[in-house]
Amino acid sequence: MIVFDLRCSNAHVFEAWFASSGAYVDQRAQGLIRCPFCDDVTIEKAVMAPNISPKGGRSAGRPPEAMKAALQALAQAQQAALSNSEWVGTAFADRARAMHVGDAEPATIHGQATRAEAKALVEEGVPVAPLLLPVVPPERAN
């Protein structure tokens, strides 16, 4: 597994894991990599700090197998949470706000929101949380 810092054409920087550098190139060419903030598919690698090994034989932290297992566990936990949640797409901010003020029945939802929409929801006290891993909208799933 390899991690890259990526940047969309709207200057959002995010991190993504790939099986290899070639997997990144293939997925980018197919338009499969999307910005988790704005859904942009114009993606480039962002400048990253180099991964420098520690001095004198000290441990470099978790081995790659542990990182891969942790990432897989996170993906499984997020998928389990989403399996009982309704996809509302770009209507997320409106639906979350309506439920918060009592204009809509409470439900567990997930969808897309711009950074400005998410910030406004938080400032209004609407209980929301970002997903840690990108979610493919149902209409784009295989």
Q: Which tokens hold the place of 19?
A: 């099986």
Q: Which tokens hold the place of 92?
A: 């997320």
Which pLDDT score, from 0 to 100, does residue 43 have?
94
Strand partners, 14: 6
DSSP code per residue over 48-114? ----PPPSTT---SS-HHHHHHHHHHHHHHHHHHHHTSEEEETTHHHHHHHHHHTSS----EEE---
Which pLDDT score, from 0 to 100, does residue 131 have?
77
Determine contact, residues 33/41, Cβ cutoff 8 Å. yes
Q: Which tokens hold the place of 63?
A: 């081995």
Q: Which helix (H) or strand (E) holds 7?
A: strand 2-8
What number is the average pLDDT over the span 108-118? 90
If DSSP codes are grouped into helix, strand and coil, which group holds residue 125? Answer: coil
- Total Cβ atoms within 10 A of residue 87: 15
pLDDT for 61 beyond 70 = no
Which pLDDT score, from 0 to 100, does residue 78 have?
82
Place of tokens 């996170």: 74
Place of tokens 């297992």: 69
Q: What is the largest CA-CA distance in the chain?
A: 61
What number is the average pLDDT over the span 12-24? 88
pLDDT for 139 beyond 90 = no
Q: What is the pTM of this model?
A: 0.51
What number is the average pLDDT over the span 84-104? 94
pLDDT for 60 beyond 90 = no
pLDDT over 90, % of the chain: 37
Place of tokens 């990144």: 24
pLDDT for 138 beyond 80 = no
